[in-house]
Amino acid sequence: MFFNKSKESLRQIFALADVKLDGNRPWDIHVYQNEFYGRVLRYGSLGLGESYMDGWWEAEKLDEFFAKILRAELEKKVRDQWKLFWQFFINTFFNRQKKSKSFKIGEHHYDLGNNLFQAMLDKRMVYTCGYFKNTKNLDEAQEIKLDMACKKLGLQKGMKILDIGCGWGSFAKYAAEKYGVSVLGITVSKEQVELGRKLCAGLPIEIKLQDYREIKGLYDHIVSFGMFEHVGEKNYRSYMEIINHHLRDNGLFLLHTIGNDGAIKTTDPWVEKYIFPRGRIPSIKQISKVAEKLFVMEDWHNFGADYDKTLMAWFNNFASHWKDLKSRYDERFYRMWKYFLLSSAGSFRVRRNQLWQIVFSKKGVPGGYTSIR
């Protein structure tokens, strides 16, 4: 009796998004364990994600399943008691961060293994959204993005640049090679430091295992790619103050971050547990508020639709190299990582999440700033 009621309840909810249980379309889901229905109803998005990891259900095109769910805006249609279940499709990704725990995200996510990210990412190992302007190739899209960032900053030979959350040194290496600058990159991942130093050997680049609250010195320009999502709302203002303090008066700060259309007060429990603990995606209002009286906003560029393309390319790389990775990672990890990449692609496909590159100056660029696209 309970099984039948649970199945019917989920059938009705999914039908609002034109998703069928055991249907024949690519976005329909096929259930292999009857316990699936009760698990999802009892544990919401955590139950949905963990039951997928356990192989209890499948969709031929998981990315389109999530796009359907999101596009239907089910959170506006279902009863109040269902709204927690759909929090994932509204919020995604990150939550809290304290200095004492700042290295936990490195250990939990970025230290999963350099071989994983080498297999998944482009040849420069850029773990942020590419810019697919006039290309469908991931390697080209990432180089276009890196070059665009350099041009937005107006890099010139001899400049000293700070890269907060530098990853494996992709921006630092590109900027040093192409524009003749020196770069200090900081990250909270030991694995990124180890490989990043090897990749950047022989260039005027230093990569350090360091929290952003330990920065010293002055820099001509500062960049941060995909790190602000880990800062946390309570630290946004102090983060901006630190940037302001270490940026020369005529310098620019380029912030590259995932964004949300509204302030988020909760975090999806599946993503919190398995992917990105202690963080949160910022909103336009949150960023503008913490930048007040510290910076002039010179340019705000949204190319979030390109994250769908980036994530799909990452998944295709990951899947095609799985035969080389599965000796280190088990099948449950494969399903977890697939769920993460394809659910994220769905969220960007329907524009629930955004990707912003924002350029700030301290006192305004004399004569005005020229936007680069």
Q: Where are the domains of the chain?
A: 2-90, 99-327+352-361
Measure CA 140 to chain center. Answer: 19
Token representation of residue 308? 């769908």
Strand partners for 254? 223, 359
Question: CATH classification of 99-327+352-361, choosing from 3.40.50.740, 3.10.129.10, 1.10.3720.10, 3.40.50.150?
Answer: 3.40.50.150
pLDDT value, residue 271: 85
C-alpha atoms less than 13 angstroms from C-alpha of 177 in its C-beta half-sphere: 14
Q: Is 125 left (phi over 0), alpha (psi -120 to 50) or beta?
A: left
> What's the rounded Cα separation, in Å, for the pair 300 and 371?
9
Per-residue pLDDT of the chain (373 residues; tens, 9 = 90+): 556 788 998 898 899 999 999 999 999 999 999 999 988 888 888 899 999 999 999 999 999 999 999 898 876 666 544 444 444 444 444 334 455 455 555 455 666 789 999 999 999 999 999 999 999 999 999 999 999 999 999 999 999 999 999 999 999 999 999 999 999 999 999 999 999 999 999 999 999 999 999 999 999 999 999 999 999 888 999 999 999 999 999 999 999 999 988 776 666 788 888 888 876 899 999 999 999 999 999 999 999 999 999 999 999 999 999 999 999 999 999 999 999 999 999 999 999 999 999 999 999 999 999 999 9
* pLDDT attached to residue 265: 63
φ, ψ for residue 225 (rounded to 5)?
-110, 115
Q: What is the pLDDT of residue 80?
A: 45
- Is 281 exposed, middle or buried, given 0-12, 13-18 or 19+ CB atoms closer than 10 A? buried
Give residue 154's region: left, alpha or beta (phi > 0; psi -120 to 50). Answer: left
Q: What is the pTM of this model?
A: 0.91
Distance CA 45, CA 319 (A): 24
